[in-house]
Structure 1
Amino acid sequence: MARRSIGITYRTLASIARPLVMLLFRRDWSGAQHIPAEGGFIAAVNHNSYIDPVAYGCFQYGTGRPPRFFAKEGLFKGAFGRLMRAMKHVPVARGGAEALQALDAAAEAIRAGEGVVFYPEGTLTRDPDLWPMTGRTGIARVALETGCPVIPVAQWGANLLLPPYGRMGRIFPRRTHLVLAGPPVDLSRFESREPGPELWREVTDVIMAAVTAQLADLRDLPVPEREAVPGP
């Protein structure tokens, strides 16, 4: 993607965010080769800290593909909302026609060649061991509609500084933020199926299984044998 397409607002804020992330965290980031060099794609990422979007965002930005977050519409209000829109993030609403419009906007961004970041869980994980929860099916609908690559990404470490639903810990000693991006999820077996809730649920579960497997590798733990905690 040409550097000029990133936009001056994004470049300016990235120049602030990247030093901050470097101050807060050591970094162990791998799998950048799986982020497509060009063309639209989805990054499916687990979510376990309010600050992990900034940390993950720096990883993807460093690949030359600025992340366009599929983010809660509440973040798109006031001055901060104007910055979010200037960076071409995509507001997501829950339920009804507005939710479908948000998915259409995400699909449009992908067709325009953007790398859109989905947090399929829809919120911070509520799993007691911080494994990904059951994903929401919007990611499957957009993936199947656009036919774009879906890159499963796991991250860990921001939660050690700011736990989900917890308080910020001490900055020093610095924690290590880990990222592991994997190869695209193979969704070819679903291409001939009729779209609908059953298919979207199945595809979402396949994507979330790939993200969970990446996180298991990152944490050097086995994938939990129990079912995922239901999402919101």
Structure 2
Amino acid sequence: MTEPASSRATFAVLGVILRPLMNAMMSKEWKGAENLPRNTGFIVCPNHVTEIDPIVIGHFLYNHKVMPHFLAKASLFKVPVLGAVLRATMQVPVERTTAGANRSLDVAKEAIEGGGGIIIYPEGTLTRDPDMWPMKGRTGAARLALQTGAPVVPIAHWGAHEVFPRYAKRLYLFPRKTSRVLVGKPVDLSEFRDGPITRTTLDAATNRIMDALTELVGELRGETPPAERWDPAAKNQKQVGRNFESPAGEGQ
């Protein structure tokens, strides 16, 4: 699937509207763009700390001539105006059912084969880690990478949560914040590509992706990541939704 003219036109309109707004809200410190693959489709794996992350990552990629295609909740495609924009820019709807998930992966494969960039948040949702480090990853990005052979590029960002904290209801624009983005080199998954795609293989490949992403986040923050990644299941937390906190004393 190549990027159709209608999609590029919609992205151009969004760029005219959103880029000045993003530039006004936050200054930029972007590094590592030379690590973005060219002339091939690839998978982007960012960390996920706030609801405006997709705009930050989309802004970064679009500025570097990569059309951003996200896996987005299917329910968002039913929202007036937003749904039309998502469809026009060829975003990928994700359903909770197994059949729906398989259809989403098929569309993502088409985008990669056409030379596009597919953004998959490997954590699956906003991090549950109290200190906002990347938490335990899900296997979707690894599965897509092993099925397609596409490079996986970790992208860490930091600062957007200061403008719009996780699950906030308003923006905090003053003082002006900085959007910091750091692109890592493609993750080496070569040792996992020749064998069968088993659960063990997917878990190992996912850990490799999450290790690379966490290292980048630590570099951006100037801090040492925790020795063990946060696991929502071990903390009795729900995997999705805002009301994920476990009752007091449970899972601790």
TM-score relative to the length of structure 2: 0.87
1:227 equivalent in alignment to 2:214 = no
Correspondence 1:21-100 to 2 at 5 A = 21-77=22-78, 78-100=80-102
**Does structure 1 conserve the Cα–Cα contact (< 8 Å) formed by 2:156 and 2:216?**
yes
| Amino acid in structure 1 at the alignment position of 2:218 | A
Tell me the distance in 2 between the aligned counterparts of 1:229 and 1:18.
Answer: 35
Question: Can you list the C-alpha shifts for 1:5-64, whole angstroms capped at 9, x where unaligned?
Answer: 852111101111111100110111111111112210001001111112111111111111
Identify the match of residue 118 of structure 1 among 113, 117, 120: 120
**Does structure 1 conserve the Cα–Cα contact (< 8 Å) formed by 2:7 and 2:90?**
no
| Amino acid in structure 2 at the alignment position of 1:127 | D
Q: SS at 2:37's partner residue?
A: coil
1:207 equivalent in alignment to 2:209 = yes
- Could you tell me how far 1:111 is from its partner in structure 2? 0.9
| Amino acid in structure 2 at the alignment position of 1:214 | L
- Could you tell me how far 1:201 is from its partner in structure 2? 1.5
1:128 equivalent in alignment to 2:117 = no
| TM-aligned CA distance change 1:100 to 1:25, over 3 Å | same
| Amino acid in structure 2 at the alignment position of 1:72 | K
Q: Greater CA radius of gyration, 1 or 2?
A: 2
Task: Please name the residue that 2:188 is paired with.
Answer: 186
Question: Can you list the C-alpha shifts for 1:91-145, whole angstroms capped at 9, x where unaligned?
Answer: 1122311111111211121111110111111111111000111111111110001
Tell me the distance in 2 between the aligned counterparts of 1:94 and 1:197.
Answer: 19
Question: Can you list the C-alpha shifts for 1:138-185, whole angstroms capped at 9, x where unaligned?
Answer: 111100011011000101101011111234343111111100000000
Task: Please name the residue that 1:138 is paired with.
Answer: 140
Stretches of structure 2 lacking an aligned partner (at least 5 in a row): 234-238, 240-252
How many residues are paired up?
Answer: 232
Tell me the distance in 2 between the aligned counterparts of 1:13 and 1:187.
Answer: 34
Stretches of structure 1 lacking an aligned partner (at least 5 in a row): none
Task: Please name the residue that 1:176 is paired with.
Answer: 178
| TM-aligned CA distance change 1:54 to 1:186, over 3 Å | same
Task: Please name the residue that 2:16 is paired with.
Answer: 15
Tell me the distance in 2 between the aligned counterparts of 1:166 and 1:12.
Answer: 27
Aligned alpha-carbon RMSD (Å): 1.8
| TM-aligned CA distance change 1:3 to 1:174, over 3 Å | farther
**Does structure 2 conserve the Cα–Cα contact (< 8 Å) formed by 1:40 and 1:114?**
yes
| TM-aligned CA distance change 1:5 to 1:63, over 3 Å | farther
- Could you tell me how far 1:65 is from its partner in structure 2? 0.6
Task: Please name the residue that 2:242 is paired with.
Answer: none
Identify the match of residue 152 of structure 1 among 151, 154, 163: 154
**Does structure 2 conserve the Cα–Cα contact (< 8 Å) formed by 1:41 and 1:149?**
yes
Q: SS at 1:7's partner residue?
A: helix
Tell me the distance in 2 between the aligned counterparts of 1:5 and 1:114.
Answer: 15
**Does structure 2 conserve the Cα–Cα contact (< 8 Å) formed by 1:52 and 1:158?**
yes
- Could you tell me how far 1:2 is from its partner in structure 2? 8.7
Q: SS at 2:123's partner residue?
A: coil
Tell me the distance in 2 between the aligned counterparts of 1:95 and 1:121.
Answer: 18
